Amino acid sequence: MNQDKKEFMAEAIRLAKENLKTGNGGPFGAVVVKNGIIVGKAGNSVTSTNDPTAHAEVNAIRDACKNLNTFQLDDCEIYTSCEPCPMCLGAIYWARPKAVYYACTKTDAANAGFDDSFIYEEINIPMNNRKIPALQMMQSEAQKVFEEWIKLDGKIEY
C-alpha cells in the first residue's frame, strides 16, 4: 500500500483518537480523498449532536459533498477507522466513491461495545417480523408522487 493511502488512514485514525479527548462521540474517524487531497473529514459526533446518524463516515461524506458542491463522490476514496456499519455502508453506496479503505473490522467494533450484528440480522428478516415493525400504508397515494417524478422534465437524477 502506498504512503499516501497510509497517511489518509492515519488521519482517519487520528480523528477517531481525537474523539477520545474531546468526547464528541464514539472512537471513529473518516476522511474523503479526491485526487490525493482530503476534501472531507470528520469524527463521530452522535452524542455531542444528539444525532444517531452522525457517524464519522456520514459526517465526512456530508463535509466532502459540501466542499465539492456535489451530491456524489464518484472520483473519491473514503478512509475510515473502522469497517462501516450498515447505515454508513448505505450512505457510502449512495455517495458512489470509487473505493473504501477501513482499519478495524466490525468484529473489532463489536469487541469494543459497538455491535451492529443485530442490524445485519434484522435486514434478512421480513419487514413485518422485525423488532421494530415496519407496516406499509397509503401506497397508492405515495405512488402518485413517483408517477409525477417519472414525468417531470429537468429533474436531477441520482
**Calpha distance 91→124 (Å, rounded):** 19
- Confidence category of residue 1, pLDDT binned at 50, 70, 90: low
CA distances from 147 to 32, 102, 139, 140 (A): 36, 40, 12, 10
The residue annotated as part of the active site, out of 7, 57, 141, 147, is: 57
- Confidence category of residue 158, pLDDT binned at 50, 70, 90: confident
Q: What is the pLDDT, as a whole number, of residue 74? A: 94
Q: What is the pLDDT, as a whole number, of residue 133? A: 86
User: What angle do the packed helices 56-68 and 86-95 form, to 10 degrees?
Assistant: 20
To the query of whether residue 57 is one of the catalytic residues in this protein, the response is yes
Give all strands of the β-sheet with 99-104 in edge-to-edge order. 37-43, 29-34, 76-82, 99-104
- Confidence category of residue 157, pLDDT binned at 50, 70, 90: confident
Q: What is the pLDDT, as a whole number, of residue 2? A: 84
